[in-house]
Chains A and B, each alone.
Chain A
Amino acid sequence: MISSLHRILIIGRNTLTEAVRQKVLSVLLVFALIQISSSIFISQLATPDLDAAGLFAEQIKLVKDAGCGAIGLFGFFIALLSTALLIPQELDKRTIYTILAKPVRRAEFLLGKFLGVVLLLALCVALMSLAFAATLYWQESIGLATVEANYGQVGDWQHNAHAREMHDNDVALIIHQVRDPQLVEAIVLIFAKIIMTAVIALLISTFATSWIFTIITTFLVYLIGHGEGMARTYWLAHGAETTIWQSGLIGLIALLIPDMNSFTIVDEILAGHQVPWHDVLNLLCYANVYVIVLLAVSVVIFDYREL
């Protein structure tokens, strides 16, 4: 068992090394650029005549949405491409032969490759989160500076208790919005969604004949997954009323496609609302189990694949 895990880890690390040496991470530089420039763009959108903290509610929302949206988008594409090419590359270059000639099980090989992708995605998300945190921090300092400037205009405000109170309130408001510990939950949820995408791509690639097919199908499943919730509720409520074909198709979606829309709870967190930690945990457990199930299916399919 230990040696099995050890082999998975070795293959995983090798896969990560391959991705890094093939300069996958340089894509993140593009990300960083986009992050920074969009942040600058957003900070130009000053809506004056509004008390500073109100102003920054708008800007901070834009920065958070853009930052997390970009992490999700880039993560999605990196997950999609690197996983779709994972097995085809090994088959094309036949490197899989040399590995399977060693005492390595096919399941260990597949899981090892996937582990490598997970490590790569974790690294990418971590780096992107750092860039995001930096732009958030930068926005905070701009916000605080604006508050100081605004109050400074009013004159000697420090000696007015009321003004002092309002100033402290504004400062606290900005800091509270920026340094929201729930953002960590948001990033974790985004990461979970990205891993779901990756495991779907892996599953499809175990039986697909071309990587283009894998990419297109995964993309479709991803999109349909966002409507799965609607399909599911409709099917459970009205399944018996429709024709066999309709019921069958919608039922199939409900039974097989994951509910990708449940991850959009991230929007709530970004809008500043409280999402209980155990709700997040529940969703993460669901994603976890789903990933395990799909990995098991992938292993079965791959075990019986002709090389």
Chain B
Amino acid sequence: MNDFPLRLRLRRAALVALLLGLWAPFKVAWEQQISRQQDEIRYHGLVMTRELRDGLGQGLTIGVLSGMRSVVADIIWLNVTTAWENQEWFRMGGLINLCTSLQPRAAVFWDMGGWHLAWNASVAAMHDKDQPNELRRIKASRYWIDQGLDVYKRGIENNPEYWRLWRDTAMLYDQRLKDYPKAAYYYKEASKRPGAPVFLERFPALMYDKYHGNDDQAAYAEWKELWERLTPEEREMKEHWKEKIENNIRELERKLSVPKEKRIFPN
């Protein structure tokens, strides 16, 4: 039963319409501004694509839509660990893809995902007892390394300021692929990122140290840069790696026949 004098009901409706009507344009404008702001800090709004929805299933899609995105991604991530334990590499790769699509800004997914692929999967492929042909095993192993590398690199695209991704890419080039110039490059980029441990600075030079190739110039440049970064007091201190810098510079200056006046260590 609801009787309310008509004039009062009309008045109520008019007031409500007025309040909401005045607010609506402000609301839309403000929300646009907030969206822009959030995009600027590289907040990737999730676009619910078909593959994503198929990969998620209905319940999880609702979870994602109601703002539980990170929790849904975490739940899927737990399956990555299970897939690893069960050595289901292709399934693991698919799940890693799903997690990184859901939360491209969760650097840890790229980081650990890349690690699972480039290290765990590839090593397992190398020692696959079901594959007697060694060439095939190497090929499979290489396939997984490439997968991991791809994940690392896409991770870097989405999270360029996360030092570990650069570092792990460098490690991959360094330890599995033996591509020292690339390793040196990635180590260098890693050391520039906020929060990177200081000792990463030396690693580029160390890469050139390992690189018995033709790029003494590059190596010399690296070592020089390291030396120049030290303060005069630090140069006095004879800690192990500072000695190493000095020794390497000396040797390279000799090898490259740098004119004495241009040398850092003329003697």
Direct contact of A and B (CB under 8 A): yes
Q: Which residues of A contact B (CB under 8 A)?
A: 45, 47, 50, 54, 57-58, 61-62, 65-66, 69, 72-73, 161-162, 165-166, 169, 173, 176, 193, 222-223, 226-229, 232-233, 236, 254-256, 258-265, 267-268, 270-276, 279, 282-283, 286, 289-290, 293, 296-297, 300-301, 303-304, 306
Choose from B26, B70, B164, B199 the contact partner of A267 (Cβ within 8 Å). Answer: B70
Tell me if B263 counts as interface (CB < 8 A to partner A): no
Residue contact A165 to B70, C-beta cutoff 8 Å: no
Considering only residues 169-212 of chain B, those with a C-beta below 8 Å from chain A are: 195, 197-199
Docked complex: B54-88 residues within 8 A CB-CB of A: 62, 65-71, 73-74, 77-78, 81
Q: Tell whether, in the assembled complex, residue A293 and residue B19 are in contact, meaning their CB atoms are under 8 Å apart.
A: yes
Bound-state Cα–Cα, A232 to B241, Å: 58
Bound CA–CA A227/B61 (angstroms): 12
8 A-B pairs with least C-beta separation: A69-B71, A304-B12, A255-B24, A169-B197, A65-B70, A271-B106, A57-B108, A259-B31
> Assuming A236-B28, A286-B30, A300-B16, what are 9 further A-B pairs, CB within 8 angstroms?
A62-B74, A69-B68, A162-B241, A176-B195, A229-B45, A232-B31, A267-B105, A267-B106, A306-B4
User: Can you identify 6 A-B contacts, CB atoms within 8 angstroms?
Assistant: A62-B77, A69-B68, A255-B27, A265-B38, A267-B70, A268-B41
Are A306 and B111 in contact, with the CB atoms below 8 A? no
Chain B residues near A264 (CB-CB < 8 A): 67, 69
Q: Contacts A65-B70, A297-B16: A273 and B41 contacting too (C-beta < 8 A)?
A: yes
Contact of A260 among B3, B20, B27, B67 (CB under 8 A): B67
Is the C-beta of B32 less than 8 angstroms from some C-beta in chain A? yes
Residue of B24, B34, B70, B71 touching A256 (CB-CB under 8 A): B24
Interface size on B, residues (CB 8 A): 58
B239 in contact with A161 (CB, 8 Å):
yes
B2 to A: closest C-beta gap in Å: 5
The B interface, classified by DSSP as helix, strand, loop or mixed, is helix
CB neighbours of A228 from chain B (8 A): 31
Instruction: Assess A58 versus B108: contact at CB under 8 Å? Given A282-B37, A286-B34.
Output: yes
Determine if B50 is an interface residue (Cβ-Cβ < 8 Å): no
Contact in complex: B62, A261 (CB < 8 Å): no
Report if B240 contacts A (CB, 8 A): yes
Whether the pair B66, A222 counts as a contact (CB closer than 8 A) is yes
**A229-B35 CB under 8 A given contacts A58-B112, A165-B199, A306-B2:** yes
With A and B bound together, what is the CA distance between A41 and B11 in angstroms? Answer: 58
Closest to B116 in A: A47
**A45–B81 touching, CB < 8 Å:** yes
Q: Which residues from chain B contact A222 at a C-beta distance below 8 Å? A: 66
Given A271-B105, A297-B19, A259–B34 Cβ distance below 8 Å? Answer: yes
Between A223, A227, A236, A267, the greatest number of chain B beta carbons within 10 A of the residue's beta carbon is seen for A267
* Contact between chains at B43 and A272 (CB < 8 Å): no
